[in-house]
Amino acid sequence: MATLLNEETVEVLANMDSFFFQQRVRLVEALTQGCIEQPNVYDVFDHDTNKRIMIVKEYSDGCSRCCCAPGHSVFVKFYHIDKDAPELKPGQKVDWFYEPSGEPFMTMEREGCDCCGKGACPKPCLCCFACNKECSEVATIHAGDLAGAPGGAKGTRDRAKLLGESVQPPLGGNFKPIMQIMDRVDPNDKTGKTNLFAAVRGPCLTGGCSKLCFNSVFGYGAADPSMANNGSKLHTSRFGEYATITKLKPKGMGQAVREAFTDSDLFDVRFISKDITPQQKANILAQVIHLDYMFFERDNDICSRSGNGVDINFCNCFVYGCVCPCKLHLESSK
């Protein structure tokens, strides 16, 4: 199948069916408890060989990142690892001095709510219920690099290099989040027309204390294009037959501490169907990052100071596109 992805990317994705995403711990962000929000960086491994194959990096406006995260606009760029890159296995110390020498093979743009910065705010109501395009999640995936500022085009960015889209349907799937995965139909069509090829459904409850005890599984199922923009029709039993993304719970005390005091996450990605094309795999890999921003990039998600006491967050409940924390407030006796 023709695609805008380069040959190296097509070969990598055609030969691999399982991946592991490890988000790096940002020390300054952890020490300031999110007051100084730093750009995210992820290392991607082949699950079967534990060999690092990609680096994924966030590019965003610093002011919007600190004030509006995790709802801010972002470019997320995917890079192949150079042959001379330092060896790294999951869980090992990262060499921060290494930078990929090549251009990104793919860029995801997620338009968000930017309360400051240079550009206009493309999604001013992103944290509300998913009623219209101003408050619904959308990410576009493009081959190669993108110029300009994330969110700056406000939905009018050129689609010549578009690979696909991640689109939230009206009302977001009610009480279980649903996202539509759109695949580009014809690489020669400069309008970048896309069709729905899969949908993903996640759990109602995520994050908070629950992430220390339970995995969060997002299951993908094949979807007919006629289901587009209709969340109720996407409630089928086929979720999980296509692919799965699993936000992994901590395996030990060290990982539990990281979960409690940072927003550094671990994801397991498995492609089950043998009919998925490399371009469709690329769209799903990009959505790993999109789901991370939607549900797991929340500073102090387990506990936080509030007034004269402490808030304990048991979990975050998904309600028609809005992520609502379920908290218990403990007042100080002083």
- pLDDT, mean of residues 4-12: 95
| Strand ranges for the chain from DSSP E | 18-23, 41-46, 52-59, 74-80, 106-110, 138-143, 162-167, 178-184, 194-201, 205-206, 216-222, 243-247, 266-271, 303-306, 309-319, 322-331
Q: How confident is the model at residue 117 (pLDDT cuts 50, 70, 90)?
A: low
Q: Provide the pLDDT for residue 67.
A: 82
Whether pLDDT at 121 is above 60:
yes
> 45 Cβ partners below 8 Å, 6+ apart?
19, 20, 22, 51, 52, 53, 89, 90
pLDDT above 70: residue 263: no
Q: Among candidates 186, 187, 182, which has minimal Cα distance to 197?
A: 182
Indicate whether 245 pLDDT > 60: yes
Average pLDDT, the chain: 86
* pLDDT range class, residue 164, cuts 50, 70, 90: very high
36 or 271, greater pLDDT: 271
Percent of the chain with pLDDT over 90: 50
Q: Residue holding tokens 């696909």?
A: 164
Residue 4 has pLDDT above 60, yes or no: yes
pLDDT tens digits for 165-187? 999 999 898 999 999 999 999 99
Q: What is the pLDDT of residues 197-224, one digit of tens each?
A: 899 999 999 998 998 899 999 999 988 7
Q: Is the pLDDT of residue 235 over 60?
A: no
Instruction: Tell me which DSSP letter residue 136 carries.
Output: S
| Assessment of whether the complete model's pTM goes beyond 0.85 | yes
pLDDT-derived band at 270 (thresholds 50, 70, 90) equals very high
Q: Residue 36: is its pLDDT beyond 70?
A: no
